Amino acid sequence: MGFTERGIVESEEPGFLRLSFFDELGVRHAFSTRKGGVSVPPYHSLNLGLSVGDNPAAVRENRRRYFSVLGLDPSRIVRVRQVHGNDVLVVDPGLAGREQFPRLLLDDDYLYDAMVTDVPGFGLTISTADCLPIFLADPRRRVIGAVHAGWRSSVQRIVERALRKMHEAYGTDPAECYAALGPGIRGCCYEVDEPVITKLKGACTAWQGCVKPIGEGRWMLDLARLNIAILGETGVSRERVVDTGLCTACRSDLFYSYRAEKPKTGRMMSVIALL
């Protein structure tokens, strides 16, 4: 299936993908690709990660291009340090009003793997190079969420934690929410071992549908399926979940992939904002 059939719209200068389905919900969003930036190999070319060894000036220029094409105010871009955990940050006006904002959110104290907000204009970002970025939108209460779903945070049900936080903070009903799954490593390329499977078994009753055994103590894990199952268990219906279906490891022409290109590669940055 091509991009058009899946409702994916691609921009190239700078490179990003968006889902037309999600555009209709009153949010702006983008999943960056590696195209249309200024970084040189092995970071070519739209590397948006500062901590991977790339030239910081190139990364800053890439970020400037990316956020300016999206029409997002750089001073309202929120980025936390992702730690493969299950904590969710509520980005409220009080937090944003602090003097150090947004630098504050780059500090090591801000260890989160998901963010939620009802404040228009804040760009919630998720950095990845194989982990799955997931966006959440509640069009009725006008609330959004951004989730970093690698295997560790997925087995801690990070996407459910984000929805619960949207409920606590803003009254969101998961049954009224939509979810979008970005590019990430897929079941075709993500080999895992016994310790991962042990954790997975406790995480999701439908875990068997998310793995394929390939030999003694080895499995292929489908993180997208796992998170779609958890979304379902939390009350988000399947027809409200849109998946780009793209594998970062299969498509290293389009994306950075830690598994396919280690040790040195760049980072994509997905962003979602309420209009």
Binding site for Zn ion (CB under 5 A): 186, 188-189, 247, 249-250
Residue type, 121: G
Distance CA 1, CA 121 (A): 33
Cβ neighbour number for residue 130 with a 10 Å cutoff? 26
The one-letter amino acid code at 217 reads G
- Cβ(136)–Cβ(177) below 8 Å: yes
The residue (of 136 and 268) whose beta carbon lies closer to Zn ion is 268
Q: What are the tokens at 269?
A: 């940055």
Spatial separation of the C-alpha atoms in residues 107 and 173, rounded to whole Å: 32
Instruction: Dump the DSSP string for 10-39.
Output: EEETTEEEEEHHHHTTTEEEEEE-S-S--P
Cβ closest to Zn ion, residue 77 vs residue 249: 249
Q: Minimum distance between the CB of residue 201 and Zn ion, rounded to whole angstroms?
A: 24
User: Number of C-alpha atoms within 13 angstroms, CB side, residue 193?
Assistant: 1
Distance separating alpha carbons of residues 261 and 121, to the nearest angstrom? 34
Give 118 or 243: the residue with its C-beta nearer to Zn ion. 243
